[in-house]
Chain A
Amino acid sequence: MPLETPAEVDALLDNATRAAAVFSEFDQQQVDRIVHAVYEAGFNNRIRLAKLAHEETGIGRWQDKVLKNVVATQFVYEDMKGLKTVGVIAEDSDKGIVEIAQPMGPILAIIPVTNPTSTTMFKILIALKTRNPIIICPPKKAIRCCVEAARRCYEAALQEDAPEDCIQWLTEVSREQTHALMSHQKLALILATGGSSLVQSAYSSGTPTLGVGAGNVPVFIEASADVPFAVGQILLSKLFDNGTICASEQAVVVEQRVAPQVIAQFQKGGACFLDDAEIRKLEAVAYNSEKGLMNPDIVGKSAIEIAEKAGLTVPPETRLLIAPLKGVGREYPLSSEILAPILAFYVVEDFDRAVNRCIDLNFYGGIGHTVSIFSNDEQKIKEFALLMNAGRIVVNTPSSQGAVGGIFNKINPSFTLGCGTGGKNITTENVTARSLLNIQRIARRRENQRLTHFDQNLYLDESLDARAIETAFNRNY
């Protein structure tokens, strides 16, 4: 629905609140039936919705968007189908603790333009699984495809007697109304996936928010790595949907001794290495230096399209533009996050310098998100991991698909990747249905026997220090 007045914002939230009320009566079986129907509807429309998203946004490749839709429906469904989300979900008789899952209430889902239909279906599935009504707020450039995805899901949900208005969507989006929605008293949670300014607005609204941070993913090809394999995997990841996943590699860091082999492999795979003059031309179209951000016009475009925009002459088989850089920071615009088939490239002398360069990249706009390493040296993998600030450290894996989870590893599949406090998020987890529950705990009496036997007057004795108290506290009777 279009939102033109505050009364319309209220109406949207009133509908959602009533849906939440009815949803609260549903048992696990009813919920699972609805979720299964919605998963099937989303999955069965995976190709149509992918093509629609591609046509509407002009971003990426529709074939890759199909796979995103598959992950968002089939993989997400399989990941959570056995999950208990209603009533008693855990009992520990020894501790006397019983956990009860309760829904949170109406959720506002902010959808990014780069993954519109997949993120819409992902958020709908995890919201319904947890009995939370959801309002889809699409990006301006992807309204039609998001609405279509939401509508298909809603129709399927209603077929299984889901509450009316359990899924709603906006058909027009304005900054003012989005803000009004975000700060509405009846809204329980914001699931904010999108640009940093929108995520910041969500955090500032006063409504609890599960947001994401920006990425700037370094991939380190360590000397022990299988180079052809590593380069093949990086290409698979970076070229996926023309580099639109925020966990896609942004910079390759290579130890000198394997650099020639790495360069040759990239060239064999369709990468074009640029010289300094070409890099400057590319910077001019790929980066908005006033805003200090990537230029949205090149997001998800092919390497050939971007090269043409930049006035570069590249071989027709070019799939990836690689910019060898000497540093990280504002003076090197291509060292920041650019969601397109463009990679920064660094050759360094040894392991320590490589890790330092990865730290620079990690802390230049990508804190808490994802880093990647190709290596067959367990010790070095561990060292690297301990020094990075990243929710996900993916190993010998394409980072786009690796961070999203479910394909190359057992990380929970998700289209909302928490970046921890470094990314100004509350979690480093891949956000899943588990994140959308209020867990109540019944706490039965289980006395602390040590305290029962302990003379609590000892706490009042200033001459007794921690060790003395501990000895008395732990004494056997």
Chain B
Amino acid sequence: MIQFQEQDGRLICSFTGPLDTAVCQRMEAELMAKVDAARLPVVFDLNGVDFIGSMFLRLCLMVIKNVQANNFRLMNMKPPVKKVFKIAGFDQCLDPGSAGPAT
């Protein structure tokens, strides 16, 4: 569901599976605790994600509030997920070097 790794001075959060409301509710406390504790720029690696719900967008906003938008990046998105972030207006958080999921 979610794995954490500190790498090159960033907290990498790798997600898998559909990120619907129930899943996000379960991971919220753990995610925010890690972000709080790490005090590092945060990267969401969405390589294993094929659906995101409203609650996940809310988690993204919570992390942005915590670390500021320029310290938050989204990467390795599959096209349907990338489109969601584009529509939702998260352009500035999309990693310009990441056109799609790592293969």
Residues on A with C-beta less than 8 A from B83 are 21, 24
Is A21 touching B87 in the complex (CB atoms < 8 A)? Answer: yes
Is B87 touching A165 in the complex (CB atoms < 8 A)? Answer: no
Q: Which of A213-266 contact B (CB under 8 A)?
A: none
User: How many interface residues does A have (CB within 8 Å)?
Assistant: 15
Is A25 touching B54 in the complex (CB atoms < 8 A)? Answer: no
Q: How far is the CA of A21 from the CA of B60 in the complex (A)?
A: 14
Is B20 touching A21 in the complex (CB atoms < 8 A)? Answer: no
Is A161 touching B21 in the complex (CB atoms < 8 A)? Answer: yes
Is B89 touching A22 in the complex (CB atoms < 8 A)? Answer: no
Q: How far is the CA of A18 from the CA of B57 in the complex (A)?
A: 7
The chain A residue with its CB closest to the CB of B84 is A21
Type the 1/0 row for B25-50, where 1 means its CB is closer than 8 Å to any CB of A.
00000000000000000000000000
The interface size bin for chain B is: 10 to 19
Residues on B with C-beta less than 8 A from A161 are 20-21, 53
Asked if A35 lies at the interface with its beta carbon under 8 angstroms from chain B, I say: no
Is B53 touching A21 in the complex (CB atoms < 8 A)? Answer: no
Type the 1/0 row for B72-86, where 1 means its CB is closer than 8 Å to any CB of A.
000000001001111
Is B89 touching A186 in the complex (CB atoms < 8 A)? Answer: yes
Asked if A99 lies at the interface with its beta carbon under 8 angstroms from chain B, I say: no
The chain A residue with its CB closest to the CB of B89 is A17
Is A22 touching B54 in the complex (CB atoms < 8 A)? Answer: yes
Q: Which of A157-204 contact B (CB under 8 A)?
A: 161, 163-165, 186
User: Would you give the shortest CB distance from A438 to chain B, in whole angstroms?
Assistant: 12
Is A164 touching B88 in the complex (CB atoms < 8 A)? Answer: no
Given contact pairs A19-B54, A163-B54, A25 touches B80 in the complex (Cβ within 8 A): yes
Is B85 touching A22 in the complex (CB atoms < 8 A)? Answer: no
Asked if B51 lies at the interface with its beta carbon under 8 angstroms from chain A, I say: yes
Asked if B12 lies at the interface with its beta carbon under 8 angstroms from chain A, I say: no
11 pairs of residues in contact across A and B, judged by CB atoms under 8 Å: A18-B54, A18-B89, A19-B54, A22-B53, A22-B57, A22-B84, A22-B88, A24-B84, A24-B87, A25-B80, A164-B55
